[in-house]
Amino acid sequence: MKITLAQLNPIVGDVSGNLRKVVDTLEQYAGDTDLIIFSELFLVGYPPRDLLEKPALIERTQAAVQELLAVSRNYPRTGVLLGAPMPTGLDTGKGLNNCALLICGGEILFRQNKSLLPAYDVFDETRHFAPATQVEVFPFQGETLGISICEDAWYDPELWSRCLYAFDPIQVLAQKGATLLINISSSPFQVGKEEVRFRIFHNHARKFGLPVIYVNQVGGNDELIFDGRSKFLDARGEAVAVLPGFKEEVVTVDAAAAGKPGLYAPVEEIATVHSALVLGLRDYLRKCGFTRAVVGLSGGVDSAVTCCLAGQALGPENVLGVLMPSPYSSRGSLRDSRKLAKNLGVPIKEIPITPIYHAYLRSLKKHLAVDQIGVALENVQARIRGNILMTLSNQYGYLVLSTGNKSEMAVGYCTLYGDMSGGLSVLADVPKTMVYQLASFLNRERTLIPQEIITKPPSAELRPDQKDQDTLPPYEILDQIMNYYLTEGYAYKDIVRLGFDPEVVRWIIKTIDRNEYKRRQAAPGLKITSKAFGMGRRIPIAARHEF
């Protein structure tokens, strides 16, 4: 049996466009394959979120299924397996299932609903879907297919400190006589997750002695990035085919083929972060209807990395760098920003903010002490810059890219309506220490980011001789404590036991909690870690707690 893995990039809600991808793939590959497999909820894209509450979307999806059935009559020897939301047909409950549909010769031959509905981190499937009431296998083209959907394959005691589900759908499929396990998925990227995925499917293959096919969505949808890395493993868990990450790819395999030891190899983590951010940035602009971006260049490493990623995602000619020197900007920062832009081939504009800043001081001198540079006047400078970038965005149709990193976002070392302004926050889930790793990675083949930008002490340059470390703990310390608190869920006492200064730990935790109101007003940020600010972390603002 020949099987085609279609690792493609759907647009959420674009049922007609997504159907076109299915039909084009079917028409191209039908003569050479028995089954073409697409990813989870492919017809609507993942995650559709509350679009699922719109009857028109479900009606359009059902119509698309009928259109696909009509097309499939022309290819009676080739099946299509894809994901779609489908009505349960019941008068009670959620009313929808997350389905895998097997279509061939103008018929829906088989429908398997998703059993395990995740409701943690960024997932909220119990909000919209009812779980499967049964798990069955289906004979097709000489194989007995055991079809599952994403989370159905993640029942693995090694993964969870507490088991989330009552049964293992993959074990049920194996016990019912499956000869081939197929999992269609929309599994978002996070650092290190690809190796976990491979281990899961490798373990399934070895445990049940069955070959496994895994087809994952690829592309960026809002904050989430899907890396693909679809694969076919033989019954020993050895890779027969591993599709590349972060790009569309269609590959046909023989279900009887044997794998090769060593064919699967994990990709270096910082390389995956780079690829994820480039894809996420490109798709966010493309799917939102933008073609160009604008970045404020401060001479610091965050704006340099953001500008570099934007140039790679969109083409340097589609990225505008804006230098906005203030009375406290160093000559080095201006020089370094110009050098960066030259290295990248990015056009720049220089718009000094000193005259505007002085106009603010004249207007405010009756109301506050303008001869003392405090937080208020520092923030005025950041907000002037934010206004300039937004004005350029309005005039020329650029999307403003916010450049703040996760460490700054965590402790509120950023200005509302200033440097937080923008349509997308590229580094919002990238800790400062990882930003430096990215800068080094970007410079591997040739110097894109001037070394002076990487080695200089970080500074907001909003007052004389300002350095980040005047206000913040060293980033090496801040990032570790932030990770323990946010990602690992450690309490204050647990982090202190690891040897960190109790006062530093207390300050970081309180500051993270106190700045939730800022993050709620931030631009969407691309998710690359297991616990990002935004949709996967739902913390109340008006709260008082001591953990």
Give pLDDT tens digits for 379-426: 999 999 999 999 999 999 999 999 999 999 999 999 999 999 999 999
Q: What is the H or E stretch that residue 394 is in?
A: helix 375-396
pTM, rounded to two decimals: 0.95
In total, the chain counts a number of residues equal to 547
Residue 175, pLDDT > 90, answer: yes
Number of H helices, E strands in the chain: 16, 19
User: According to CATH, where is 3.40.50.620 located in the chain?
Assistant: 274-466
Residue 501 identity: D
The domain defined by 274-466 carries CATH number 3.50.50.60: no
How far apart are alpha carbons 328 and 304 in whole angstroms? 19
Handedness of CA 377, 383, 387, 389 (dihedral sign): positive
Residue 516, pLDDT > 70, answer: yes
3-state SS of 291-328? CCEEEEECCCHHHHHHHHHHHHHHCHHHEEEEECCCCC
Mean pLDDT (whole number) for 126-140: 97
- Is the preceding omega at residue 47 within 30 degrees of 0, hence cis? yes
Residue 465, pLDDT > 80, answer: no
Residue 464, pLDDT > 80, answer: no
User: According to CATH, where is 3.60.110.10 located in the chain?
Assistant: 2-258
Handedness of CA 536, 112, 23, 231 (dihedral sign): positive
Mean pLDDT (whole number) for 115-141: 95
Contact between 432 and 529 under an 8 Å Cβ cutoff? The reply is no
Provide the CB-side half-sphere exposure for 76 (13 A, CA).
Answer: 1
Q: What is the pLDDT of residue 248?
A: 98
Share of the chain above pLDDT 70, in %: 98
Strand order in the sheet with 138-140: 138-140, 143-149, 180-185, 212-216, 231-233, 239-242
Handedness of CA 207, 210, 211, 215 (dihedral sign): negative
Residue 271 identity: A
Task: Give every CB contact of residue 465 below 8 A, 6+ residues apart in sequence.
Answer: none
Picking from 149-158, 213-222, 403-412, 511-520, which range would have the lowest pLDDT averaged per residue? 149-158
CATH class of this structure's domain 2-258? alpha beta
Picking from 283-287, 298-302, 365-369, 409-413, which range would have the lowest pLDDT averaged per residue? 365-369
Mean pLDDT (whole number) for 360-370: 91
Residue 463, pLDDT > 70, answer: no
Task: Give every CB contact of residue 59 below 8 A, 6+ residues apart in sequence.
Answer: none
Share of the chain above pLDDT 90, in %: 87
Active site residues: 40, 114, 150
Residue 525, pLDDT > 70, answer: yes
Contact between 180 and 255 under an 8 Å Cβ cutoff? The reply is yes
154 pLDDT band (50/70/90 cuts)? very high
Crossing angle between the packed helical segments 432-442 and 475-482, to the nearest 10 degrees: 110
Give the long-range contacts of residues 227-231, CB within 8 A, separation 24 or more.
Answer: 227/189, 227/194, 227/272, 227/275, 227/276, 228/7, 229/194, 229/197, 230/5, 230/7, 231/198, 231/201, 231/264
